[in-house]
Amino acid sequence: MNTPAASPRQALVTGGSRGIGYAIAAALVASGHQVTITGRNPDTLALAAKELGAVPVAFDAADPASITAALPSLPATVDVLVNNAGANTDFTAPDAEPDDLTALADAWRSNLDTNLLSAVLTTAAVEPRLAPDARVVTIGSIAARRGAGSYGAAKAAVEAWNASLSAELGPRGITTNVVAPGLTLDTEFFQGHLTSERERTMIGQTRTGRAGRPADIAAAVCFLASPEAGHVTGQVIHVNGGAHLGV
C-alpha cells in the first residue's frame, strides 16, 4: 500500500521580490517549501515569482485594507511566515527643516509603519492560519542595538514585539524569532547612501573581515523556519560577522 506523499510546507515571505527577501524565498523553495511572496509592485513581484517558482500576491504589508483584501489569495495554512518587508525610509524622505516637527513626526511614523507595523499587521492577519508548529521569523537589524534614528527605533520595537509574540504563540508550539543582519550588500537597502569609506569602516568592525550577503541571512532564517528549531523562540539571532555581539 502506497503512502500518500506529504504536502509541502507553506511559506509566506513578505517583501520577497528582491534582496534579502528574494534570497530567503529561494532558499525555502530549494528546501521543498511551497512559497508565496508578497510586495507592493505587482510587475516586479510577478517576475520574481516566475524566477523562483513561487506564488505572487501583491499587497502593502503596512496597509490594513490592502492586507485584508489579499487574504483570500494567501495560503489557508501557513507553516512559515517571514516578515521581511521593510526599509529605512529616511533614505528616500525629502529633506526637512530641523524645526519642522510635522515632518519629523511623519518621518518617524514612516519607519515605524514600514518596519514594525508591517510585521505586526501581517502576523495578526494570518495568525488564525498558523499551523500548530509554525515558525514566524521577522527581519530586524543591527541598527536596533547600534542606533539609527527612527529606523533603529523601529527595529528595536520589532525585538520587543517579538518577545511578546513568543509568549502569545508559544503554547501552540509556534516559535517566533528575529534575524538581525549587519551590513549586507547586494541589496537596494542603502539607496545610494553607502559611501566607500563607510563600507570599509563597517567591514572593519566585523570579525570575519567581510560584508554579509543575502544568502547569509537566508541560511539563518531557514534554520529558524525548520522543524528542528522547535525549542528556539523569542530570540534575536545576529548575522553580522561579529560587528555586534548578541548581548
**pLDDT 10s digits, 160-213:** 999 999 999 999 999 999 999 999 998 776 666 778 888 899 899 999 999 999
Quick one: pLDDT band at residue 220, thresholds 50, 70, 90? very high
Q: In the chain, what percentage of residues exceed pLDDT 70? A: 95
How is residue 4 annotated by DSSP? P
Largest CA-CA distance found in the chain, in angstroms, rounded: 75
Confidence check: pLDDT of 1 > 70 = no
Quick one: pLDDT band at residue 89, thresholds 50, 70, 90? confident
Q: Does residue 22 carry a catalytic annotation?
A: no
Cell of 167: 509568549
Mean pLDDT across 81-109: 87
Chain centroid, CA 159 distance in Å: 12
Pairing of strands 236-239, 55-58: unpaired
In this structure, what is the dihedral angle of CA atoms 186, 74, 171, 220, given to the nearest 10 degrees?
Answer: -20
Q: In the chain, what percentage of residues exceed pLDDT 90? A: 82
Which pTM does this prediction carry? Answer: 0.93
Cell of 170: 508559544
Domains of the chain: 10-239 (3.40.50.720)
Annotated catalytic residue within 22, 59, 151, 161:
151
18-64 confidence digits (pLDDT tens): 999 999 999 999 999 999 999 999 999 999 999 999 999 999 999 99
Pairing of strands 55-58, 78-83: unpaired
Pairing of strands 55-58, 130-139: unpaired
Sequence-separated (6 or more) residues with CB below 8 Å from residue 58: 38, 39, 40, 41, 42, 45, 70
Cell of 205: 568592525
Are 139 and 178 contacting, i.e. CB atoms less than 8 angstroms apart?
yes
Are 28 and 21 contacting, i.e. CB atoms less than 8 angstroms apart?
no
User: What is the distance between the alpha carbons of residues 155 and 199, in angstroms, rounded to a whole number?
Assistant: 21
Cα angle: 150, vertex 151, 156; to 5 degrees = 95
Closest CA to 194 of 88, 44, 86: 88
Mean pLDDT across 119-127: 98
Measure Cα distances from 46 to 38, 56, 57, 85, 159 in Å.
Answer: 9, 6, 8, 16, 31
128-148 confidence digits (pLDDT tens): 999 999 999 999 999 999 988
User: What is the distance between the alpha carbons of residues 146 and 136, in angstroms, rounded to a whole number?
Assistant: 24
**Chain-wide mean pLDDT for the chain?**
93
